[in-house]
Amino acid sequence: MGAPSANIQQAHPSGPSRHFVPNSSGDFDTSNTLEARKYLRTYGLTPPTVESFETQAERCLAILHSKQTPIDKYQYLTHLRASNVHLFYRLLADYVKELTPLIYTPTVGEACQKWSHIYTQPEGMYLSYADKGHLHSVIQNWPHNVEITVVTDGSRILGLGDLGINGMGIPVGKLALYTACAGIRPDCTLPLMLDLGTSNQALIEDPLYMGSRRPKVSAEEEAEFLDELMAALTERWPGIVIQYEDFKNPFPSLQRYQSTYTMFNDDIQGTGAVILAGFINAVKQSGTLAKDQRAVFLGAGSAGVGVAKQLVEFFIREGLTEDQARRCFWLVDSKGLVTNDRGDKLAEHKVYFSRDDNEGKQYESLDEVVEYVKPTILMGLSTIGGAFTPKILSRMAELNDRPVVFPLSNPSSQSECTFEDAIKYTKGKCLFASGSPFPKLEYEGRTLEPGQGNNMYVFPGIGLGAILSKAVNVTQGMIYASAEALSTSLTKEEVAQNWLYPDVSRIREVSVVVTAGVIRQAQKEGVDRELHLRNLNDEELDAYIRSRMYDPFKERDRVDDELAQITGQVSKL
Ligand SMILES: NC(=O)C1=CN([C@@H]2O[C@H](COP(=O)(O)OP(=O)(O)OC[C@H]3O[C@@H](n4cnc5c(N)ncnc54)[C@H](OP(=O)(O)O)[C@@H]3O)[C@@H](O)[C@H]2O)C=CC1
Ligand SMILES: CC(=O)C(=O)O
Ligand SMILES: [Mg+2]
C-alpha cells in the first residue's frame, strides 16, 4: 500500500477544523470571560457561568476521584486535555505529584498495553513504513508549528517490551511533561509514532490493533526510514528538537544523528544525567569516594550503559583515569556478568564495560555477582520486577553502611524492588531511588521519602535549553550540565532531609535551573545560535527562561489581551 498523503492534502485544502486538532484549543474554557467568548464566537456554546480556576479544579478533582481505576483516571485526563488544554495544564501544575503517576509511569504503561482497545481520539502523528518516500508530504498534515517532538517506534516501551504503535502513550506522556515541567506550549509539541511493524505476535493477531500487521522492519530499513524522517522534520520545522524514546536498540541512531541534528536519546542520555545527579548527592551522603565505588548494574541495555557511561565521566572528573573509572562497573545482562570470555558475541554497546579480570570464571546469577564484586552500588535497569531479592538487599546492607540501591526499571511492576522492601531488608540503611514513584514510609519513628530517579527531572530542561538557545546540537556537555544543575537544585530543607532529588512538586522551578545549565553549556561550546542570551547575567537568564515558559494560568489573560488590543483597551499582560 503506497502513501496517499499528497492527495489527501489536495482533497482537503483547508485542513482539519481547528477545534478538532490535538492540543489546539482553550476556546471552550469555562473561565473565559463573556467578552472573550463573544470574541472567540463561543458565546452560548458553554454554560453561562464564568468560573474561577478553583471551581474548575474542584469539579475536575471530584470527577477524577470518582473514577475507580488508574486507567479510568488516565482516560478522563486524556479527555480533559483534548477538550480544555489550558485547564488540564492548570490542574497538572497545581497537582503535579498526584497527577504525574496517572499521565506518566506507572499508568502510562498500562495505557500503552491497552492503547488500541481504549483509543478514542487523535493525539499525535503516526508514520508508517508504507509512507516511506512521502514523509515530507505526510508531515504537512500536522497543523501547528512544532518546537519539539518525541519519537518512538514502540519497540521497547518502558520495561513492557515491543508494543508497536500502542507505544504512542509514551510520546504523549513525555510531551505533556515538557509542557507541565518546562512550559513548552502544548501546540508546539508533536507526539510521533513510527509504525514500522512489530515483533509482538499477540498484537498482530489482535483484531483491534491499530498498527501495521507486519513483522518489524530490518535495522537497515529502519535506518533509511529515519534518515528520511530527520530530513523531513527539519525541513518543515528548522530548529526542531527531536527526542528519541524507547527504541529497542537506539545506539546507532544516536551515533548517526547527534552531531547533525538537534537531537538526543532520553533513555541513554536523559537517564544517564538524572542518575548522575542523584548519585552525586548519594556519594556526598555516604561519605565515600569515587575511587572506592564498585557498581553492579543489572541490565546492560540502553539505559544501563547510558547511566554507567555518565558515571564514568563523573569519576574521571573526580580524579580517576578513564580505565580506573571504567573498572568500577560490573554489568549483568540476561546471560550473567558481561565478560570478554563468556563465549557469546557481545553487542557493541556492552564491549566498553566487558570485564577481562574474571580469571575465566563466569557469574550467571545476580547473587553470584554480588558475592564476587561486593558492590557499594546496585542499579536496576533490567525490566525484571523483584530481581533485588530480600537476600540481595540484606547482603548489600551487610557490605555497606549506606548502600546505594536504585531499582530504576519502569513501570512499578518491573521495578527491581519496592521502597518498602529496600528499607526493610537493608534495615533503613540504603540510599534509594526508583524509576516509578513509591509511597513514603514510616520506619522506626521516621518518615522516609523515596527518591524518584526518572529522566523526567532532566529531559524537559534539556529540551527547553536547546530550544531557547537555538542549539545546533545537543552535546554531551549539555547533558552533563543538566545533571550538575539538577544535583544543585535541592533546597536546604531537602538537603537536610537527605533527599537525593528535589520534591516533584517543585519540578517547574527545577526545570528552570536545568534549562539555565544547559543554555550556559551550549554557549561555552559555541553551539548556541540565540547569541543575545550570552549577554545576560544569571539572574537575567533565569528571568528570560521564565518569561518564555507557557503558563496555563495566563491563557485567559492572553485572550483578554488580544481582545483589549482590538478594542484599544490597556493590555493586562
Ligand atoms: N528510571 C528511568 O528514568 C528510566 C528507566 N528505564 C527502564 O530501564 C529498563 C531497561 O531499559 P533499556 O535499557 O532501554 O532496555 P534494554 O532492552 O535496552 O535493556 C534491558 C537490559 O536488561 C537485561 N535483562 C533482561 N532480562 C534480564 C535478566 N533476567 N537478568 C538480567 N538482565 C536482564 C537485558 O539483557 P540482554 O542485553 O542480554 O538482552 C538488557 O541488557 C526499562 O524497564 C525502562 O523502563 C529506562 C530509561 C529511563
Ligand atoms: C522513563 C523512561 O524513559 C523509561 O522507562 O523508558
Ligand atoms: Mg524511555
CB 158 within 8 A of CB 246: yes
Q: Is the CB of 195 under 6 A from ligand 2?
A: no
- The Å distance, Cα 370 to ligand 1 centre, comes to 18
What local confidence, expressed as pLDDT, does residue 496 receive?
92
Cα dist from 373 to 294, 390, 417, 568, whole Å: 7, 18, 20, 73
- Which residues have a Cβ under 8 Å from the Cβ of 325 and sit 6 or more positions away? 290, 311, 312, 313, 315, 316
From the CA of 350, which ligand is nearest? 1
Distance 94 CA to ligand 3 centre (A): 25
pTM of this structure: 0.95
Instruction: Give Cβ neighbours of residue 20 (< 8 Å, ≥ 6 apart).
Output: none
Residue 97 annotated to the active site: no
Q: Which residues have their alpha-adjacent CB atom under 5 A from ion ligand 3?
A: 245-246, 267
Q: How far away, in angstroms, is 573 Cα from ligand 1 center?
A: 47
Beta strands in 113-207 (DSSP E): 125-128, 148-152, 189-195
Q: Which fold has domain 119-261?
A: Rossmann fold (3.40.50)
Alpha-carbon distance of 419 to 448, in angstroms, equals: 10
Residue 158 in contact with ligand 2 by CB distance below 6 A = yes
Output the pLDDT for position 93: 95
Q: What is the DSSP letter of 216?
A: P
Are the CB atoms for 194 and 182 separated by under 8 Å? Answer: no
Closest C-alpha to ligand 1, atom 18: 301
CA of 299 to the centre of ligand 1 (A): 5
For residue 112 and ligand 2, the question of a CB distance below 6 A is answered with no
Q: How far apart are CA 76 and CA 64, in angstroms?
A: 7
104 is catalytic: yes
- How is residue 175 written as a grid cell? 510531551
**Domain segments of the chain as ranges:** 119-261, 269-453, 457-529
Distance (Å, rounded) from C-alpha 46 to C-alpha 202?
A: 44
For ligand 2, atom 6: residue with the closest CA? 158
Report the CATH fold assignment for 269-453.
Answer: Rossmann fold (3.40.50)
Nearest-angstrom CA–CA distance, 505 and 434: 17
Output phi, psi for 270, to 5 deg. -60, -45
* CB-CB contact of 250 with 268 (8 Å): yes
Give every residue of the chain whose pLDDT is below 50, as ranges. 1-23, 570-573
Q: What is the pLDDT of residues 328-354, one digit of tens each?
A: 999 999 999 999 999 999 999 999 999
**Domain 119-261 shares a fold with domain 269-453:** yes
Q: How far apart are CA 201 and CA 489, in angstroms?
A: 45
What pLDDT is stored for residue 569 in this prediction?
A: 57
3-state secondary structure of 96: helix
For the Cβ of 200 lying below 6 angstroms from any atom of ligand 1, the answer is: no
Give pLDDT, residue 24.
Answer: 52
Quote the pLDDT of residue 572. Answer: 46
> What ipTM, to 2 d.p.?
0.99
The dihedral of CA 213, 218, 222, 225: what is its sign? negative
Does residue 410 have its Cβ closer than 6 Å to ligand 2?
Answer: yes
